[in-house]
Structure 1
Amino acid sequence: MQVQHMTQAAESVESMPTVRRRQPGRWVAAAVVCVLLAMLVNTFVTNERFQWDVVFDWFTSDRILAGLGRTIQLTVISMLIGIVLGLVLAVMRLSDNPLLSGVAWAYIWLFRGTPVFVQLLFWGFISALYPRLSLGVPFGPEFTSFSANELISPFVAAILGLGLNEAAYMAEIARAGILSVDRGQAEAAQALGMTRGLALRRIVLPQAMRVIVPPTGNQAIGMLKTTSLVAVLAYPELLYSAQLIYSANYQTIPLLITASLWYLLITSVLSVGQFFVERHFARGSVISAGATDRRGSLRRLAARLPGRRP
């Protein structure tokens, strides 16, 4: 009888007419957005000062493509330095040794607390502080010595400025990922005979990647755009290459649009890559909320059926 009543109630609910809720505000907002988009497209098409013909003439020029290659090179090398050094700093920061933890904290405090633009200038003018860089024993003989101007070229200064700064941010990202893994798993691994380093590599880091990967992708996209600051070192990456061109032909806006289009294209590619990497590391880690809700609903329905205990 109870099941029959439930069936009848369900049928009566299904037979009721469905009335959509009126939402005039949503339609007004959509209309305003459409008008603004139409105005934006119109000004892009009708304003001759954008000089789209000049933009696309320079879009695939050798000088722009060479600058783009240097930008990608800077991004890849700086991110590799930042990820590797950041992971080391994160492990040092979590160490029980107060010296290691303190040194890592001081490094992160220093490089996160000063602008990357200032750091690039320091590395570019490092010869003013140290005209010669030497290797040797403290208060002892020198093994070898180099001229700072010859050793720290604009490319090396750019890599040092970007990579060392990125390491400070990656250290905090990696530390958050490691702390997100339950401490009991590392303790259980050590109880099975694993060393602390082996447990970190085999147990903790693979699980921490789900937390580390998304912000790392954002950092890579940010690094691509941050390389534009290297123009202060007169290194011909993408933006500085465009500046060299428009300083000669005075086509400032078209060349800036050309550089911006390349930045947008590369960041779009990186965003797609980030999506697939995140999906790879998230496999088998999360049960969908919808499946959980359905299972709970089935359990509650089964408990209400006659002859079943709640």
Structure 2
Amino acid sequence: MRRVFKILLILGVAAALLLGAAFWWLNHAMPIRLPPGAQVADLEIEHGTSSNGVAETVVASGADVPVAMLQAWFRLSGQARLIKAGSYELVPGTTPRKLLSMLVRGEETLKSITLVEGWTFLQVRSALQKAEQLVPDTLALSPEMIMEKLGKHGIHPEGRFFPDTYAYAKGSSDLALLKRAARAMDRRLDAAWSLRSSDTPLKSPDQALILASIVEKETGKPSDRAQIGGVFSNRLRIGMPLQTDPTVIYGLGLKFDGNLRKRDLQADTPYNTYTRLGLPPTPIAMPGKAALLAAVQPAPTKALYFVSRGDGSSEFSTTLEEHNRAVNKYIRGH
């Protein structure tokens, strides 16, 4: 019995000494040093890693810190089980206490990517491939396969992702980011559709998305956006062709060389709104929030035409005669 008591006493004293040493080290330790010339050390903490393993990972990253003391600090802090897996960056000046706080809070190092209003799905895919430390899980997938994996079987990908800046942890999947952007667009579209004008010619949220994408591509000056939405709504209401160049350009695809010719306007495709009435079959780009609202809440106007003034703004006309005069003035210079 005495022997057991003696062993327990020794263990208790050892634990107390270890505890005291760990907290003394914590309060007196200098910030963790990185290898000479290093501005940052990357930490990748895998799921299921023990606190001892986390300390070993910190040291393996190149940090100059006693692994045994770091292990003891993690355990004796009472927060070892709260350390979260993820991608972290250890920067100069980080103390052991700050390191543990960062790991417990899950303050991962995040990268970001911006999906720009008016981008096509082709441009989105190109940006994803260039994004820093984003795993390209969609690289070998067709657009149809991507939409299938996003739970949107049979839906064309164009315009289905909301343009915004998305933060992600290093090593995240581009498919996961697309899923977030698709959900964001679903929410934005539902919200816009719930605010639609009572006299809108649009029959569904999908039609609103298509029109919004056209408004997005046609708008040069934000203050004109709702007016442009009004022009297209008026045309849809009376059965007049939309006659919008961006849809024709989209239909040309990679054949478009930057110069829209008369023969292009006359060549019939599903996206040629000069040769076909109504909306094209799909969106032609990603519309932002303002374009969505302009599609469902257009400005009250009698205008049926508009032309660019050359400075980003548009000249609106109610009659073809007025429009032709505006074209002569701003396009032909007469």
Give TM-score scaled by structure 2 length. Answer: 0.21
Higher strand share: 2
Higher helix share: 1
RCO (CA 8 Å, sep 6+): is it higher in 1 or 2?
Answer: 1
Give TM-score scaled by structure 1 length. Answer: 0.22
